[in-house]
Amino acid sequence: MKKLLDIMAALRNPETGCPWDIKQTFKTVVPYTLEEAYEVADAIENGDMDELKSELGDLLFQVVFYAQMAKEQGDFDFNDVVDAVSDKLINRHPHVFAGVECKDEKILHEAWEKSKANERDTQSSENKASILDGVARALPALKRAQKLQKRAAREGFDWPDIEPVLAKIEEEVGELRSAIKEDSTEAVFEESGDVLFSCVNLLRHLNVDAEESLRGCNQKFEKRFGYIERSLIQQDRSFQECSLDELEGLWQKAKNEA
């Protein structure tokens, strides 16, 4: 770690460092951090351990980058980051570090959430205007929707089971149909968001991660679409030369192959 921290300090040296690294700010680095996180996920999904090793290094470098900029401003340094996360993990795992007996996974999850809630409660009232504060706005929309719903559910703002959730989806789809009939771009935009939000709520009730579910669906679509592309190449045909029924037939074959 010292080697990496020294490299980062050298890159940010105002006199001898790299011009690109020197001019970066917290905000300008954020897009790279998000990109690196997705590349880590991609390496894991591909089962490529060499690539994962490389991408984890890139992601770690992002943390070091932020810590160096914070150190230059006198806010905190990398050691403070390590101390903070270490303390947090110890506090959230009393069954490991404090001898508390807790073997049931559900109870463990409840204790974890309670610990997180207590940490939020210790924040100053000025920084805690809403129970939804702290759900990062930069999260992917599906992930953020699920976290917002989960936070609200802890306060009792939730359906008791999935039946009313399913009914809500049907209600929102009906409203979307009406918006489409009205040919209102603004209404379609709003109602389509409501449909997605309701679907995320259903997945939350089913203990399904909405973001991961859609990522899996994307991969499945790519695989099946690739099958259709290869089939058409073998037939020396293009998509435009096929009817929708023919393409649907190839899609069904692709599903069977998968």
Query: What pTM does this model have?
Result: 0.65
CA distance 128 to 111: 22
pLDDT (0 to 100) of residue 116: 64
Residues 115, 9, single domain; the answer is: yes
Together in a domain, 120 and 7: yes
Count of Cβ atoms closer than 10 Å to residue 92 Cβ: 19
- Looking at the structure, do residues 200 and 225 belong to the same domain, yes or no? no
Domain co-membership, 121 together with 49: yes
Please say which residue of 94, 127, 160 terminates a domain: 127
**CA distances from residue 36 to 30, 46, 162 in whole angstroms, order as listed:** 10, 15, 36
Q: What is the residue type of 83?
A: D
Instruction: From first to last of the 258 residues of the chain, give the pLDDT tens digit.
Output: 999 999 999 999 999 999 999 999 999 999 899 999 989 999 998 899 999 999 999 999 999 999 999 999 999 999 999 999 999 999 888 888 887 776 666 666 666 666 666 666 665 455 556 888 888 888 889 999 999 999 999 889 999 999 999 999 999 999 999 999 999 999 999 999 999 999 999 999 999 999 999 989 999 999 999 999 999 999 999 999 999 999 999 999 999 886
3-state helix, strand, coil in the chain (%, to 5): 75, 0, 25
User: Residue 146 in contact with residue 204, Cβ under 8 Å?
Assistant: yes
CA distance 165 to 242: 40
Q: Is 52 within a domain? A: yes
Which range marks the domain in which residue 179 is found?
141-208
Question: Per the domain annotation, does 136 fall within a domain?
Answer: no
> Do 121 and 6 share a structural domain?
yes
CATH for 149 = 1.10.287.1080
Give the chain's domain count: 3
Scanning 47-154, the segments in alpha helix (DSSP H) are: 49-73, 78-92, 94-97, 105-121, 141-153
